[in-house]
A and B are shown apart, each in its own frame.
Chain A
Amino acid sequence: MIGVVDYGAGNMQSLANALDHLGVAWRLAESDADFTECDRVILPGVGHFQSAMQTLVETGQNRRLAAFADSGKPLFGICLGAQLLLESSEESPGVDGLGLIPGAVVRLKTETVPHMGWNRVRPTGESPIFGVGERDAHYYFAHSYVCNPVSADHRLAVTQFGTSEFCVAVGRENVRGVQFHPEKSGPVGLQLLERFARC
């Protein structure tokens, strides 16, 4: 059973629709019991770093997410949900992230911002969320900030945009996240969600 954390994020319904389409069993992860009963959890996200963290703290979800990460079970962040896994963000100076992966979220310095549309994603190594041998598949992006993990080991994939190259998938053991939207990336994105559901 996959638990989905709902904190009013914009892509909650899209993610639910994608999981339903895949026939993957899921429920909302709200209480301590929900988190205990789920064998993996997704943290979706579209919106603002500060308001998202504020909601997670007020509802105690930050504590539950940290405990879930400690349990060793797979945790997966999408877009803002991936950014929240890090320690801080230039979008909201002074606001603590979940801190599950060392590093900060930084503003894109590309010619056009937001980075909007389909771009090629290159995994840096093997990871259960990307397909075996997968290289340069197109995923859909819509963001102005990116994850910048301290350790190169925590960068699972990169993307090129203009003259910039940046990290678009982060991972530290069982905690992973992607900057793009698998629920909006056609068949390739649905396959990624399916792999997470079975990893």
Chain B
Amino acid sequence: MLARRIIPCLDIREGRVVKGVAFKNLRDAGDPVERAQAYMAGGADELCFLDVTASIEDRPLLIDLIRKLSKVLFIPFTVGGGVRSVDDAKALLRAGADKVGVNTAAVTRPALIAELARQFGNQCVVLSIDALGPGDDAKVTTHGGREVTDRKVCDWAREAVELGAGEILLNSVDADGARSGFATALVECVIDAVSVPVIASGGAGSAADFVELFTKTRSHAGLAASIFHDGSTTPNDVKKVLQNKGVEVRL
């Protein structure tokens, strides 16, 4: 049976890990390579790196970081942030990323998803959606949650999968950083809309939140940042609780 995945996420700016609440007030949270290795040792099933500034000037720094990460990470990792073209994605994958995440650029130009899928295969293309609002009414936002579009989250997810997205990373802007639980109704709504795996993100504050996610929804994975950042909770800690509740995990 397929295990539910626990995916620590690291926001990267200028080669360092940062964390804020609802995409604001970013503060330094350490060296990405050290963090990533600690997460892998602590039972992370996968890692996600999001370049939150994604300016052209930072690109060589990010590529260099991916090279370093790929030498020490023997679990899969996704890199997102500022991917606008096949060439952007190719640079990340060549450096060692297993999958690329696309967000704003795909909303602006959906054909990007098809181009990436054709070039690298669906399994390499993760569509990241920043969703504002609950369940059926949730709207797609762009630019890290700063701009709200008219597009419905479930419609966009469905369209993106038809274009070739192999996985949906669904982040609830309302829940992000609040540590008050995943947006489970929203997650189920998107799972109903698509046939690819859905990763739920935003709101994890405790192991109990993951239990709720995996017992109330069919989500393939839960992604979280702040709960793992201070090192007091490891992915394995969460997975032990999940296993006790009868959830299939890799331990």
Contacts and interface: CB of A to CB of B under 8 A. Distances in A.
A116 B197 contact: yes
A162 B75 CA distance: 23
Contact of B197 (A13, A117, A160): A117
A186 B1 contact: no
- 3 closest A-B pairs (Cβ-Cβ)? A138-B250, A142-B123, A118-B3
B56 interface: no
Interface residues of A, number: 37
Interface stretch (A23-31, A59-67, A106-114): A106-114
B74 A190 contact: yes
B76 A140 contact: yes
Nearest to B4: A117
Interface stretch (A14-22, A81-89, A123-131): A14-22
B33 interface: no
Nearest to A182: B74
Given A112-B195, A117-B46, 18 more contacts: A10-B93, A10-B121, A11-B98, A14-B70, A17-B70, A17-B96, A46-B123, A112-B196, A114-B122, A119-B1, A119-B2, A138-B3, A140-B75, A142-B98, A143-B123, A160-B1, A184-B74, A189-B74
30 contacts: A10-B98, A10-B121, A11-B98, A17-B71, A18-B74, A21-B74, A46-B120, A46-B121, A46-B124, A48-B121, A112-B196, A112-B197, A114-B166, A114-B196, A116-B196, A116-B197, A117-B45, A117-B46, A117-B197, A118-B3, A119-B3, A142-B99, A144-B123, A162-B2, A184-B76, A185-B74, A186-B40, A186-B75, A187-B74, A189-B74
Residue picked from A114, A118, A143, most chain B C-beta under 10 Å = A118
Contacts of B46: 117
Q: Decide if the interface of chain B is mainly helix, strand, loop or mixed.
A: loop
Interface in B81-125: 93-96, 98-99, 120-124
A14 B250 CA distance: 21
B121 A116 contact: no
Interface string B67-81: 000110011100000
A166 interface: no
Contacts of A138: 3, 250
Interface residues of B, number: 31
Contacts of A118: 2-3, 5, 45, 250
Contacts of A184: 74-76, 98
Interface in A169-184: 181, 183-184
A73 interface: no
B9 interface: no
B16 interface: no
B198 to A, nearest CB: 9
Contacts of B75: 140, 184-186
A10 B124 CA distance: 9
A118 B5 CA distance: 8
A112 to B, nearest CB: 6
A117 B196 contact: no
Contacts of A47: 120-121
Contact of A113 (B40, B45, B196): B196
B220 interface: yes
B104 to A, nearest CB: 24
A116 B166 CA distance: 9
B110 to A, nearest CB: 20
Contacts of B121: 10, 46-48
A156 B219 CA distance: 30
B167 interface: yes
B221 interface: yes
B76 A142 contact: yes
B3 A117 contact: yes
A117 B220 contact: yes
A142 B144 CA distance: 27
B115 to A, nearest CB: 14
A120 interface: yes
A183 B195 contact: no
Contacts of A114: 122-123, 166-167, 196-197
